[in-house]
Chain A
Amino acid sequence: MLSIKKILLVVVMMLTITPLFIDASYVSTGRDTQENPDTISDIPAANYDVAGYAKLTENDNFIFYWQEDRDVLVIHDKRNGYTWKTGLDIDPTYTKAEQSSLCKDLKRQYNNDQITYEEFESGCAVPVDTITGTTSGPLMANSLLYFEYFSKGASDSVYQNNTVYSSYLKSTLYKVTSTLQMLNGDENTYRFTVYAQNLGVDKDLDLNIIVDMTLSEDGFVLNLRNEDLSGTALPYLSSIGLATFLGAVGGIDAVFYTTPKVDTVLGDYDYTEVQRDMVDGYSFVPDGSGALIRFLDNSVSLSKYNAYVYGSDPSQSIQSYRSWAGTYVPFKTASIPVYGMAHGNDQAAYVAYATSGDPYMYIISTPEENIYHYNYTHAKFNYNFLFDKLYTLDGDNPVSSISDTLNVFDIEMHYDFLSGSKETSDYPANYVGMALKYKDYLLEHGMLNEMTSALEDIGIRLDFLMADSESSIVGYVTQVSTTSDQVDYILGDILSMGISNISSGLIGWQKDGVTLGNPSKAEFTSAIGTKRNYEDLIAKYLDLGIDISLYQDYYNINDQQINLYRVAAKHPAGWYTRILTYEDPVSVFYYARPVASVQWLNKQSETFLDMGARSITVDGITTKLITDYTGDVTYRSDAIALYQDAFNRLDDDFVVNLTKPNLYLFPYTDRYLQINMYSTQYLIETDTVPFLQLLLQNTMELYAIYSNFSFYTDSDVLRMIDYNVYPSFVLTYQPSFVLADTNSAEYYTTEYGLYKDLIQSVYERVNGALSNVINAQWENREVVELGVIRNSYSNGVEILINYTDVDKTVDSTVIPAMSYVVLGGE
């Protein structure tokens, strides 16, 4: 007879044995033999020419050289004959002061008739880049890599941030040696080792960084594995920057000139500072929809573009655990880890993107009016950061500290070079080419999937704001602006106008409304709509081909809607990270831990599935990333993995609507909501371009920001057509002042009755253009003249858009003012 004990024993044995059979991947241990280590070999001295360049390899498109003294990789593009360098490649010892003393010497010789004027002039009248007059300028300009680290002396109260460049060092502040060696005998792979010594206040720390470089027909790839960082300075490592001056343009030369002897006046020399002629071109940064920073000689000092990819991290980017909301529109997020530079007009360009390490990446574009006088754009990766450590209960007198643990990640940066125009290349040397190149990379690697639509009309997004709560004499009272029956009425009305390809999100569907509804539950109230009401509504419209989803923000939370314990993310200072606003009735907001967000998403999605919903709308976690310091730290890359896993599970059951998703959620996005139509408008940004839209077109449906709020004029409609984006509106049945005392007071105009006609007119205008290019690939965007755009598609259709207020003629086609024309197609 089986006793309990025996059964338990069998079970335990089964459990212990089973893993041995289940384990599929091979894990090597000390009893096995490992793979061979990488073979490193020096580049033979004979390979270096007189100027110090060694040819590394040559392929169909490029010849690669390496400048050993200055650590500059030279890329000669055979397709257009243009040469790119990862650094400025200047001799840092050749300074204005040196030239000046040489000139002085030559002048003396000339005035003593020891040399001729020609000899004097040829030796002295030479331009010198004034960047050499600065201590770190030429180092930074040449270096393939630089790193920053924190140091603090015993008597210092704050940490200093010090920068060390990999390139040749001319001062003795610290020592850096860097070498490039071939890897495994493969002339396409190299290892760049940087060893820095004498770091720190006591000059007793060191750091070793290894970067692997792979050369290919596209360009080159830099790999920096986390395990390849070592040294006693490692805990203080703040960030590592790569290829700072790749494609940099600008420079001010001290142009020396001589004057000959005349009568009694002796020969002399002097210099003037002359701005070097700048190559026409621009940097591209992924600010909002995309922005170009043309190379200009700015006469005022403007701040640089400095964005943390996927948005700032409330835990690492802000020293204090709390921040205040401002009176300005939040800056647009860099949602894709890509940037680029173009030189000339469709001649030469490169696009740089991170395929690993992207959650920790800064994209920095520095304009010309800085101390070095160059326009340069590069990427930097964040390892450690400063934060205010708190020792008192009231949060006062914080102590600035750095984190005990670094962000752990590998860096992989691709630099692909483009050449030629649309006629000669699939990837022209401009931002369109950059977008198409990056898009192909993402498609190849499954980050994007091409979609096909069976419908003949474009979609329209109609979100409904259902309810929110305001203060009452005791607690809160919910103000309902739309009920589920009213949603039914409005959708029915719109259907009757002939608009059928509709998708809807219900905001504030839960009991207590948008702000106080609990994201971890699904509670209904008959005042807004019972569970049954919603089920009937969803089912009814599913039959009509309209999907209705319930919207939820799983990131921004407050203590009135849910108990924060174990659910709100903590700042490294140990307190809940929060933001203080001037809103009413809830003014303080916290951020949900990624683990909690994902739990809620799973739970609510099960309920939605039960209710018959085949669509889900998510906000908050789609566009924000936070490092959570509750217990075991959840880093940004961990958060990304959690989110990807959660959405992966939803992908099969739902049509996924995401608000402003970052790159890592693109594989799961069916509809991209509230896509940025503008950039942040930094003053250095000279153009706004639809890079994001070019990237995503035909892989998911793109919906614009709500037209209700200053986005409904003719030029806004044209912008939607130009950017291949569909219209969206947020509606209520009641007038919006019903919500005037709630947190939703910012939805200041939403009443359906007022928007009925506008919805129809905006939809018809945009549909009139974009219905012709459903399922077609957006191939090119051209500025025919200022204010006139031509978009070309793979099905032969061209859409010409005229933003100006006069009629324009393009190739004998007249485009009326503030209007568009569709040409060609099947």
Chain B
Amino acid sequence: MALIAIITFFSFLPVGVYASSSTTYTYALDDNKHYVRTQDAYLPGQTITDLALDKPSDIAIDQNNHLVIADMGNARVIVYDPVSGAITLEITDPQMLGPTGIYVCMEDSVYVSIGDIYVADPTAGYVFHFDSAGNLLEQFGKPTSVMYESLDFQPERVAVDKAGIMYIVSKGTSDGIIQLSNTGEFQGFFASNQVHLTWFEKLQQLVYTDAQLENLGINFTPPVFTSVYIDSTGIVYSSSSGQAVENIKKHNTQGTNMIADMFVSSSKLSDIFVDKQGIIYTSDQGGFIDVYTNDGEFIYTFGTINDVSVAGFFKTLSAIAVDDNGQIWTVDSGNNYLQSFMPTDYANTIYSAIINYNNTNYEEAIRLWQEVLRLNQLSILAHNGIAKNYLQIEEYSLAAEHFKIAGNRDLYSEAFWEIRNIWLQNNLITIIELLAIFGVVAIALKLVNRKYHVLAPVQSFGKKISNIKLINDVMYMSQVAKKPGDSFYYLRRHRKGSYLGGVLILILTFFSYLLFVAGKGFIFQYTAIKDLDLNSIILGFVVLIGLFIICSYLVTSIQDGEGTMGEIFLGFAYSMYPFIIACIASTLISYVSTNNEVFLLNTIFYVGLFYTAALIFISISEIQNYTVGQTIKSILLTILFVIVILLVLSFIQMTIKQVFQFLEEFIKEAIRNVIN
């Protein structure tokens, strides 16, 4: 029944769109780094079941485009020609007990010849070096170096560079990738993985004893490498399993990862392969094949794990290789067969576009990306790709448009800077002229007005408006900001301002804050408006302010404060002016700024925030008639009190939820008993 469930459960999806002969979906990333379905990149090709394989664990492509397979269970390495369907070479050796890693040399040099096959065998504890005819040339066992004495040598995967230097992943060795010279001498660990702990785990590491840490199950050993590969340009790549970041590494000669910031789609990688164009392919234990550009940009992923034998499904995806025709070959060690995947037009067009961009053929690349967009209008990769090309050929508006769709804020910022720059260059003179004229007109108008009072009606109208009580009350906050001391005094004595005015100011504060959070320009607006939880924001705002005022009143009344709750409320509300101005100003400025000016926005916001904080400080001091020290103490106590109340409230909320759940269950049970 379980099998039937596995086979059939997903068929209940709402009838949607799926392409013809594909059996798994292909996913790309959207602008929020979520997976979205995309046009099929690869379609299942051949499934080779008749090679009598037993737990095959690695695959490589040789110089003749044949497949070289490590058939671990049968202790042999076979070379298979998929075109003729024949095994062209079978390599066995009495010492080779269970080969799991293959590397085929693709270049001639003093140390290696084209077609040489290196085999890593953890059971035997050797790395074997065969020539292209299958003759054993040499074998390398555990290095005799003192540094390596205490470690095991169980080579699982191997990669060899032109100089015959071997990079070996050894089973269970968490120290890193072993580097052996072409004579088998230990040269050190080429690269290693770091342990990545979360903040909480770091805290635990500080606090707990070793025994307790072990109980918790936090892993302090670095994640293991699972595969190593050297591409046609000699760069070493590695894949690891078990960590969320830096699963894929592209090493420089020192072993440091050149693409540390990349988004990695899977965490338990089993193999890595890089084709001649530099496209990176990885296979993971969840049955997914991920494809990246050479810079580590994620392209797409596809695949699945399922017990049912359907083309394109895996039981255990152990290794991956790509032949000269772009066909992906995978090894399924659970099902003992090989599965190939053919690239679609979509995939090939994407690769062409990337290659053209790398070769600076921008026009051609743009044409290809547009073709990709036709096949998939939601492709972030295509929008990014096309935008980068536009950036190179100085079509900044088009670049900005596509970066925006792709959600690429950093590069959008660059394009926008250029657009702004051009605009300024074109219009700066005009602006200065306009400003000059405006200045002259303003002065002239002032002079004329002094003599002839032409602006009298306008001025009197303005005075009328500002004399409206409510507006006057609200505008008083600007006075508060300029002269806080006196203003708070007047507020206290109710000579200026009003409660209604205060409420209006707080409403205004809320909306300006909301504008700041939700309405900034594209470059700085990281959360989409639709993802904002309006309810929480409103609730948070109202509760926090309300609590602060109440707690302040309570604290200050205990500590001989003179102010009433109303006065505290007024003082708090009327301090908001700088904050409001800061929010509105930084929001407006965000529309014309780029990443270079982020400091400006932050400055404006924080200045406003701190100014408001200072005003609140002064308001408490004035209203309660405290000294500085007393004010500080009062504020700290208030904050503490607010935190305590919040904790109590959340505790009550939890328990009330329990009470309601209990009542609900009780009633349901009663009803059920009555009906039955």
| Contacts from A to B (Cβ < 8 Å) | 298-300, 302-303, 306, 308, 311-312, 314, 317-319, 323-331, 333, 385-386, 393, 470-474, 477, 553, 556, 579, 581-582, 584, 589, 591, 619-620, 623-624, 659-660, 674, 677-678, 680-684, 705-706, 708-711, 713, 716, 730, 735-737, 740-741, 745-751, 754
B1-60: which residues lie under 8 A (CB-CB) from chain A? 1, 3-5, 7-25, 27, 30, 34-40, 43-44, 47, 49-52
- B91 close to chain A: CB less than 8 A: no
Q: Are A556 and B52 in contact (CB under 8 A)?
A: no
In the assembled complex, which residues on chain A have CB atoms less than 8 Å from the CB atom of B308?
303, 682
In the assembled complex, which residues on chain B have CB atoms less than 8 Å from the CB atom of A754?
374, 377
Please give 7 more A-B residue pairs, beta carbons under 8 A apart, in addition to A324-B10, A749-B378.
A326-B9, A327-B24, A330-B10, A579-B9, A579-B12, A746-B37, A748-B377
In the assembled complex, which residues on chain B have CB atoms less than 8 Å from the CB atom of A684?
309
Q: At the interface with chain A, which of B102-110, B257-265, B525-533, B551-559? A: B525-533
- B511 close to chain A: CB less than 8 A: no
In the assembled complex, which residues on chain A have CB atoms less than 8 Å from the CB atom of B336?
300
Q: Are B10 and A325 in contact (CB under 8 A)?
A: yes
* Contacts known (A302-B49, A327-B25, A681-B44); A745 close to B15, Cβ less than 8 A: no
In the assembled complex, which residues on chain B have CB atoms less than 8 Å from the CB atom of A385?
1
Q: Are B5 and A591 in contact (CB under 8 A)?
A: no
Shortest B469–chain A CB gap in Å is 34
Q: Are B30 and A740 in contact (CB under 8 A)?
A: yes
Q: Are B17 and A730 in contact (CB under 8 A)?
A: yes
What are 27 A-B contacts defined by CB distance under 8 Å? A302-B49, A302-B309, A303-B308, A303-B309, A308-B4, A327-B27, A328-B10, A328-B25, A329-B24, A331-B8, A473-B530, A473-B532, A556-B14, A579-B9, A623-B15, A659-B15, A677-B20, A680-B310, A681-B311, A681-B312, A683-B49, A683-B310, A684-B309, A709-B40, A711-B20, A737-B405, A746-B17
In the assembled complex, which residues on chain B have CB atoms less than 8 Å from the CB atom of A470?
530
Shortest A804–chain B CB gap in Å is 15
Query: How far is B379's CA from A318's CA once the two chains are assembled, in angstroms?
Result: 36
* Contacts known (A393-B665, A683-B311); A711 close to B19, Cβ less than 8 A: yes
Shortest A689–chain B CB gap in Å is 14
Closest to B37 in A: A746
Number of B interface residues, CB 8 Å?
A: 71
Interface centre among A303, A324, A683 (most CB of B within 10 A): A683
Query: How far is B44's CA from A302's CA once the two chains are assembled, in angstroms?
Result: 17
Q: Are B18 and A709 in contact (CB under 8 A)?
A: yes
- B304 close to chain A: CB less than 8 A: yes
Query: How far is B8's CA from A754's CA once the two chains are assembled, in angstroms?
Result: 36
Interface centre among B10, B22, B304, B531 (most CB of A within 10 A): B10
Interface centre among B38, B49, B337, B665 (most CB of A within 10 A): B49
Q: Are A306 and B7 in contact (CB under 8 A)?
A: yes
* Contacts known (A710-B40, A737-B377); A624 close to B22, Cβ less than 8 A: no
Q: Are B377 and A736 in contact (CB under 8 A)?
A: yes
Q: Which of A308, A323, A472, A473 contacts B9 (CB 8 A)?
A: A323
Query: How far is B306's CA from A736's CA once the two chains are assembled, in angstroms?
Result: 32
Q: Are B376 and A298 in contact (CB under 8 A)?
A: no
* Contacts known (A323-B12, A330-B18, A754-B374); A745 close to B39, Cβ less than 8 A: no
Q: Are B376 and A749 in contact (CB under 8 A)?
A: yes
Interface centre among A329, A477, A619 (most CB of B within 10 A): A329
Q: Are A319 and B1 in contact (CB under 8 A)?
A: yes
Interface centre among A591, A678, A730 (most CB of B within 10 A): A678
Q: Are A330 and B13 in contact (CB under 8 A)?
A: yes
Q: Are A298 and B49 in contact (CB under 8 A)?
A: yes
- B456 close to chain A: CB less than 8 A: no
Closest to B11 in A: A330
Q: Which of B1, B374, B668 contacts A749 (CB 8 A)?
A: B374
Query: How far is B271's CA from A461's CA once the two chains are assembled, in angstroms?
Result: 44
In the assembled complex, which residues on chain A have CB atoms less than 8 Å from the CB atom of B21?
678, 681, 710
* Contacts known (A312-B8, A556-B14, A746-B16); A328 close to B377, Cβ less than 8 A: no
* Contacts known (A300-B335, A737-B378); A329 close to B307, Cβ less than 8 A: no
* Contacts known (A327-B27, A737-B405); A589 close to B376, Cβ less than 8 A: no
In the assembled complex, which residues on chain A have CB atoms less than 8 Å from the CB atom of B10?
323-326, 328, 330-331
In the assembled complex, which residues on chain B have CB atoms less than 8 Å from the CB atom of A730?
17
In the assembled complex, which residues on chain A have CB atoms less than 8 Å from the CB atom of B613?
none
Closest to A734 in B: B377
- B346 close to chain A: CB less than 8 A: yes
Closest to A743 in B: B14
Shortest B507–chain A CB gap in Å is 18
- B344 close to chain A: CB less than 8 A: yes
Interface centre among B34, B307, B309 (most CB of A within 10 A): B309
Shortest B20–chain A CB gap in Å is 5
| Contacts from B to A (Cβ < 8 Å) | 1, 3-5, 7-25, 27, 30, 34-40, 43-44, 47, 49-52, 288, 303-304, 306-313, 335-337, 344-346, 374-379, 405, 518, 529-532, 534, 665, 668
Shortest B488–chain A CB gap in Å is 36
Query: How far is B3's CA from A298's CA once the two chains are assembled, in angstroms?
Result: 21
Query: How far is B37's CA from A740's CA once the two chains are assembled, in angstroms?
Result: 10
8 closest A-B pairs by beta carbon, nearest first, are A710-B19, A312-B8, A326-B10, A323-B9, A556-B14, A302-B309, A330-B11, A681-B311
In the assembled complex, which residues on chain A have CB atoms less than 8 Å from the CB atom of B3?
303, 306
Q: Which of A319, A473, A591, A735 contacts B377 (CB 8 A)?
A: A735
In the assembled complex, which residues on chain B have CB atoms less than 8 Å from the CB atom of A736?
377-378
Q: Are B534 and A474 in contact (CB under 8 A)?
A: yes
In the assembled complex, which residues on chain A have CB atoms less than 8 Å from the CB atom of B534?
473-474
* Contacts known (A473-B530, A681-B23); A317 close to B18, Cβ less than 8 A: no
Closest to B530 in A: A471
Query: How far is B14's CA from A619's CA once the two chains are assembled, in angstroms?
Result: 10
Q: Are A741 and B530 in contact (CB under 8 A)?
A: yes
Shortest B268–chain A CB gap in Å is 16
In the assembled complex, which residues on chain B have CB atoms less than 8 Å from the CB atom of A330?
10-11, 13, 18
In the assembled complex, which residues on chain B have CB atoms less than 8 Å from the CB atom of A674?
15
Shortest A620–chain B CB gap in Å is 7
Closest to B48 in A: A300
In the assembled complex, which residues on chain B have CB atoms less than 8 Å from the CB atom of A306?
3-4, 7
In the assembled complex, which residues on chain A have CB atoms less than 8 Å from the CB atom of B377?
735-737, 748-751, 754
Closest to A619 in B: B15
Q: Which of A474, A556, A708, A710 contacts B22 (CB 8 A)?
A: A710
Q: Are A326 and B304 in contact (CB under 8 A)?
A: yes
Shortest B227–chain A CB gap in Å is 23
Q: Which of B23, B30, B39, B310 contacts A710 (CB 8 A)?
A: B39
Query: How far is B18's CA from A326's CA once the two chains are assembled, in angstroms?
Result: 13
In the assembled complex, which residues on chain A have CB atoms less than 8 Å from the CB atom of B5?
317-319, 323
Query: How far is B2's CA from A306's CA once the two chains are assembled, in angstroms?
Result: 13
Shortest B535–chain A CB gap in Å is 9
In the assembled complex, which residues on chain A have CB atoms less than 8 Å from the CB atom of B346?
710
Q: Which of A319, A677, A749 contacts B39 (CB 8 A)?
A: A749
Query: How far is B311's CA from A682's CA once the two chains are assembled, in angstroms?
Result: 6
Interface centre among B7, B307, B346, B377 (most CB of A within 10 A): B377
Query: How far is B12's CA from A591's CA once the two chains are assembled, in angstroms?
Result: 9
In the assembled complex, which residues on chain B have CB atoms less than 8 Å from the CB atom of A682?
308-311
Closest to B1 in A: A386
Shortest A676–chain B CB gap in Å is 9
Q: Are A300 and B36 in contact (CB under 8 A)?
A: no
Q: Are A709 and B39 in contact (CB under 8 A)?
A: yes
* Contacts known (A300-B49, A327-B25, A386-B1); A681 close to B39, Cβ less than 8 A: no
Closest to A465 in B: B17
* Contacts known (A317-B4, A737-B377); A333 close to B11, Cβ less than 8 A: yes
Q: Are A471 and B23 in contact (CB under 8 A)?
A: no
Query: How far is B379's CA from A748's CA once the two chains are assembled, in angstroms?
Result: 8
Q: Are A328 and B304 in contact (CB under 8 A)?
A: yes
Q: Which of B12, B25, B30, B310 contacts A681 (CB 8 A)?
A: B310
Q: Are A716 and B530 in contact (CB under 8 A)?
A: no
Shortest A184–chain B CB gap in Å is 40
Q: Are A299 and B20 in contact (CB under 8 A)?
A: no
